[in-house]
Amino acid sequence: MTRNAKLAGLPIGYAARAALGLGKRIGGRSAEIVAAEIQQRTAEQIFRVLGELKGGAMKMGQALSVFEAALPPEIAGPYRATLTKLQESAPPLPARSVHQVLVRDLGENWRENFSEFDDRPVAAASIGQVHAATWRDGRRVAVKIQYPGAGNAIINDFNQLSRVGRLFGVLLPGLDVKPLLEELKNRVAEELDYEMEAASQQAFADAYRGDPDIYVPDIVAGTRHVLVSEWMDGTPLARIISDGTREQRNRAGILLARFLFSGPARAGLLHGDPHPGNFRLMNDGRLGVLDFGAVDRLPGGLPPFLGRLLRIMHEDEPSITAVESELRAHGFLREGIRVDLDALRAFLSPLAEPSKVECFRFTRVWMRGEATRILDTSTSNISRKFNLPASYVLIHRVSTAGIGVLCQLECEGRFRAEVLRWMPGYLDEPDGDERRSLPVG
């Protein structure tokens, strides 16, 4: 079956389940039970199809996987393992095709660069797969190789997914996937250019060199379709989520928050793809970070506006008129648009609550409660009235996806201190030496 046929089969399957559900309701089954059955069957089909494909379908599946914590337990439970697999693997590229890419980018004598090269991939994702190898100087390296034709496949997938986008609302009623699809599509050109990714990864590696808590592998070589970096061992974050100890989950959570918030200040860059497949908890306790294809360039750090907004939301009686004023000043609310201020407070609370108290525990129960509140009819009107300026699109994606991963980890820690330490406009930032010696809370 072709890629297009698999994607086109999603609405057909849903229509068949809906028709069958109607028959069950006529036969006396309750509407709630029938709806839950349709939701579960549709979710299983969506993630199965996305997991079988690479390209944009795989990337969409990875992006959706961070919302797993917000799904009802009876829906999330049966295929949590499928999501983990989706974050870590995809069907591999044959060895012959791998060699053709290496010849094209590294030359006919590409093997001279390596003393060893394993033709079997150790990981595969949306646009490329990774092979273990030994560089000619003896260093263990990871060789990421882009799938031939990945660009066309991704664009085609996004076009197909936009036609069946309403089905994703079956997973989370009220979820609008169109902005997510559009943002992912806009990032394709950057993610397909491994030379650009190499530059971003090396900038992060330089910024965190010697850090006791964060590790980013150095780049060894990079072409447009081949990326060679130093090897990194460790336990995938997806496995920490499923099988990790409380201590491991807490440590991974606080370090993930530290990395995401400190990146703009330390490297002038924001890691734009915080799904669990891109992180490892190393044996020495450091958080290892992978995949720098999607980054946001923030040479001045995070916008001070975010710190000011957070400070207002942290007040015991936050002035929502002040919040509204800040949002209008920065283009989030267009002129003439009016919003319910109580609904606005409810809409913004999930982003502010974890850093309002000294110690916070992220849980799936909390995530589901916040998702229900945000997607409530009265509050969801806020999201439809919001205008997300282009400069904030990736920041918003990272913040929401990061919260999703923290809830999957169900971790607890001193997130307030971690967030405010790196948030300009809220508190004075510590100097560089102080930043590098921060303890894990």
Tell me which residues are annotated as active site.
273
Per the structure block, which two tokens stand in for 13?
């399957």
End-to-end CA distance of the chain: 50
Cα torsion for 5, 10, 61, 191, to the nearest 10°? 40
| HEC readout, the chain | CCHHHHHHHHHHHHHHHHHHHHHHHHCCCCHHHHHHHHHHHHHHHHHHHHHHCCHHHHHHHHHHHHHHHHCCHHHHHHHHHHHHHHHHCCCCCCHHHHHHHHHHHHCCCHHHHEEEEEEEEEEECCCEEEEEEEECCCCEEEEEEECCCHHHHHHHHHHHHHHCHHHHHHCCCCCCCHHHHHHHHHCHHHHHCHHHHHHHHHHHHHHCCCCCCEECCCEEEECCCEEEEECCCCEEHHHHHHHCCHHHHHHHHHHHHHHHHHHHHHHCEEECCCCHHHEEECCCCCEEECCCCCEEECCCCCCHHHHHHHHHHHCCCCCHHHHHHHHHHCCCCCCCCCCCHHHHHHHHHHHHHHHCCCCEECCHHHHHHHHHHHCCHHHHHHHHHCCCCHHHHHHHHHHHHHHHHHHHHCCEECHHHHHHHCCCCCCCCCCHHHHHCCCCC
Per the structure block, which two tokens stand in for 45?
């089909």
Question: Do 405 and 275 contact (CB within 8 A), yes or no?
Answer: yes
Contacts of 382 (CB under 8 A, 6+ apart): 339, 340, 343, 344, 347
Partnered with residue 413 across adjacent β-strands are 360
Other Cβ atoms less than 10 A from the Cβ of 315: the count is 11
